[in-house]
Amino acid sequence: MPNIAVVLKEEITRLARKEVKTQVGPLKKVVAEQRRTIAALKRQVATLERNQSFLNKQEKKRLGKKPKAEAAKGVRFSPKWVASDRERLGLSAKDYGLLVGVSMLTIYNWEKGKSKPQAKALAGWAAVRGIGKREALKRLELLEG
Protein backbone atom coordinates (compact mmCIF):
# COMPACT_ATOMS: atom_id res chain seq x y z
CA MET A 1 0.00 0.00 0.00
CA PRO A 2 1.42 3.39 -1.02
CA ASN A 3 2.43 5.82 1.61
CA ILE A 4 -0.25 8.50 2.04
CA ALA A 5 2.36 11.25 2.36
CA VAL A 6 3.91 10.33 -1.00
CA VAL A 7 0.49 10.23 -2.72
CA LEU A 8 -0.49 13.55 -1.15
CA LYS A 9 2.81 15.12 -2.22
CA GLU A 10 2.39 13.88 -5.82
CA GLU A 11 -1.19 15.18 -5.97
CA ILE A 12 -0.14 18.60 -4.64
CA THR A 13 2.69 18.73 -7.18
CA ARG A 14 0.32 17.79 -10.00
CA LEU A 15 -2.22 20.44 -9.00
CA ALA A 16 0.50 23.06 -8.58
CA ARG A 17 1.86 22.31 -12.06
CA LYS A 18 -1.64 22.52 -13.52
CA GLU A 19 -2.25 25.88 -11.82
CA VAL A 20 1.12 27.26 -12.95
CA LYS A 21 0.37 26.13 -16.50
CA THR A 22 -2.99 27.93 -16.51
CA GLN A 23 -1.38 31.10 -15.15
CA VAL A 24 1.69 31.05 -17.44
CA GLY A 25 -0.11 30.01 -20.67
CA PRO A 26 -1.51 33.47 -21.56
CA LEU A 27 1.78 35.07 -20.58
CA LYS A 28 3.65 32.81 -23.01
CA LYS A 29 1.30 33.90 -25.79
CA VAL A 30 1.91 37.57 -24.98
CA VAL A 31 5.68 37.05 -24.90
CA ALA A 32 5.59 35.24 -28.25
CA GLU A 33 3.57 38.07 -29.80
CA GLN A 34 5.97 40.66 -28.41
CA ARG A 35 8.94 38.76 -29.82
CA ARG A 36 7.30 38.70 -33.25
CA THR A 37 6.64 42.43 -32.97
CA ILE A 38 10.24 43.11 -31.96
CA ALA A 39 11.54 41.03 -34.87
CA ALA A 40 9.28 42.94 -37.29
CA LEU A 41 10.48 46.26 -35.88
CA LYS A 42 14.11 45.18 -36.22
CA ARG A 43 13.49 44.29 -39.87
CA GLN A 44 11.80 47.64 -40.40
CA VAL A 45 14.70 49.53 -38.79
CA ALA A 46 17.20 47.63 -40.94
CA THR A 47 15.22 48.52 -44.08
CA LEU A 48 15.03 52.18 -43.08
CA GLU A 49 18.77 52.28 -42.35
CA ARG A 50 19.51 50.78 -45.78
CA ASN A 51 17.25 53.35 -47.43
CA GLN A 52 18.87 56.19 -45.51
CA SER A 53 22.32 54.97 -46.46
CA PHE A 54 21.31 54.76 -50.11
CA LEU A 55 19.82 58.26 -50.06
CA ASN A 56 22.91 59.67 -48.34
CA LYS A 57 25.11 58.15 -51.04
CA GLN A 58 22.88 59.59 -53.75
CA GLU A 59 22.97 63.03 -52.11
CA LYS A 60 26.76 62.89 -51.80
CA LYS A 61 27.00 62.02 -55.49
CA ARG A 62 24.69 64.89 -56.36
CA LEU A 63 26.61 67.37 -54.24
CA GLY A 64 29.97 65.95 -55.29
CA LYS A 65 29.41 66.90 -58.91
CA LYS A 66 31.21 70.14 -59.56
CA PRO A 67 29.33 72.68 -61.65
CA LYS A 68 30.69 73.05 -65.16
CA ALA A 69 32.43 76.24 -66.20
CA GLU A 70 29.71 76.79 -68.83
CA ALA A 71 27.22 77.29 -65.98
CA ALA A 72 29.04 80.54 -65.14
CA LYS A 73 28.05 82.23 -68.39
CA GLY A 74 25.90 85.25 -67.72
CA VAL A 75 26.57 85.18 -63.95
CA ARG A 76 27.51 88.56 -62.59
CA PHE A 77 29.95 88.86 -59.73
CA SER A 78 30.38 91.43 -57.01
CA PRO A 79 32.55 91.25 -53.88
CA LYS A 80 29.67 92.71 -51.85
CA TRP A 81 27.42 89.86 -52.97
CA VAL A 82 29.91 87.27 -51.74
CA ALA A 83 30.15 88.94 -48.33
CA SER A 84 26.40 89.44 -47.98
CA ASP A 85 25.62 85.87 -49.06
CA ARG A 86 28.14 84.43 -46.62
CA GLU A 87 26.75 86.65 -43.86
CA ARG A 88 23.16 85.69 -44.76
CA LEU A 89 24.04 82.01 -44.41
CA GLY A 90 25.95 82.66 -41.19
CA LEU A 91 28.97 80.70 -42.38
CA SER A 92 32.67 81.18 -41.82
CA ALA A 93 34.88 81.79 -44.83
CA LYS A 94 36.21 78.27 -44.43
CA ASP A 95 32.74 76.69 -44.56
CA TYR A 96 31.58 78.96 -47.37
CA GLY A 97 34.73 78.11 -49.32
CA LEU A 98 34.05 74.41 -48.78
CA LEU A 99 30.57 74.85 -50.25
CA VAL A 100 31.86 76.81 -53.23
CA GLY A 101 34.87 74.57 -53.77
CA VAL A 102 37.63 77.08 -53.05
CA SER A 103 39.85 77.92 -50.11
CA MET A 104 39.02 80.27 -47.26
CA LEU A 105 41.70 82.70 -48.44
CA THR A 106 40.09 82.85 -51.87
CA ILE A 107 36.77 83.83 -50.27
CA TYR A 108 38.51 86.62 -48.34
CA ASN A 109 40.18 87.86 -51.51
CA TRP A 110 36.86 87.84 -53.37
CA GLU A 111 35.19 89.79 -50.57
CA LYS A 112 37.97 92.41 -50.51
CA GLY A 113 37.94 92.73 -54.29
CA LYS A 114 41.57 91.63 -54.58
CA SER A 115 40.67 88.86 -57.01
CA LYS A 116 37.79 87.59 -59.10
CA PRO A 117 36.71 83.99 -59.51
CA GLN A 118 37.69 81.97 -62.52
CA ALA A 119 34.92 80.36 -64.56
CA LYS A 120 34.88 77.09 -62.57
CA ALA A 121 34.85 78.87 -59.22
CA LEU A 122 32.22 81.32 -60.48
CA ALA A 123 30.00 78.38 -61.40
CA GLY A 124 30.49 76.95 -57.89
CA TRP A 125 29.62 80.30 -56.34
CA ALA A 126 26.53 80.63 -58.55
CA ALA A 127 25.37 77.18 -57.41
CA VAL A 128 25.70 78.15 -53.74
CA ARG A 129 24.38 81.68 -54.06
CA GLY A 130 20.67 80.86 -53.96
CA ILE A 131 20.51 78.20 -51.24
CA GLY A 132 19.13 78.71 -47.75
CA LYS A 133 20.68 78.13 -44.35
CA ARG A 134 19.27 74.63 -43.88
CA GLU A 135 20.41 73.50 -47.31
CA ALA A 136 23.87 74.99 -46.73
CA LEU A 137 24.24 73.22 -43.38
CA LYS A 138 23.03 69.97 -44.92
CA ARG A 139 25.54 70.25 -47.74
CA LEU A 140 28.35 71.06 -45.31
CA GLU A 141 27.47 68.06 -43.18
CA LEU A 142 27.61 65.79 -46.22
CA LEU A 143 30.85 67.34 -47.51
CA GLU A 144 32.60 67.08 -44.14
CA GLY A 145 31.25 63.64 -43.21
Query: Residue 106: which residues within 8 A CB-CB, separation 6 or more?
Result: 97, 115, 117, 121
Answer with the residue of higher pLDDT: 71 or 60: 60
What average pLDDT is seen over the chain?
A: 87
- Count structural domains, the chain: 2
Same domain, 76 and 136: yes
Domain co-membership, 84 together with 108: yes
pLDDT tens digit string along 66-113? Answer: 666 555 677 788 889 989 999 999 999 999 998 888 999 999 999 999
Based on the fold, state whether residues 79 and 137 are members of the same structural domain: yes
pTM for the model stands at 0.56
The verdict on 20 and 83 lying in the same domain is no
Confidence (pLDDT) at 44: 97
Select from 50, 65, 80 the last residue of a domain: 65
| CATH number of the domain within which 88 lies | 1.10.260.40
Dist CA 60 CA 134 (whole Å)? 16
For the segment 120-127, the average pLDDT, to the nearest whole number, is 85
Q: Do 50 and 77 belong together in one domain?
A: no
Same domain, 29 and 58: yes
Q: Print burial letters for 65-99: b (CB count within 10 Å at least 16), e (below 16).
A: eebeeebbeeeeeeeeebbebbeebebebebbbbb
The residue range of the domain holding 61 is 1-65
Q: What is the pLDDT of residues 34-44, one digit of tens each?
A: 999 999 999 99
Show Cβ contacts of residue 102 under 8 Å, excluding neighbours closer than 6 positions: 117, 121, 124
Q: 30 and 87 in one domain?
A: no
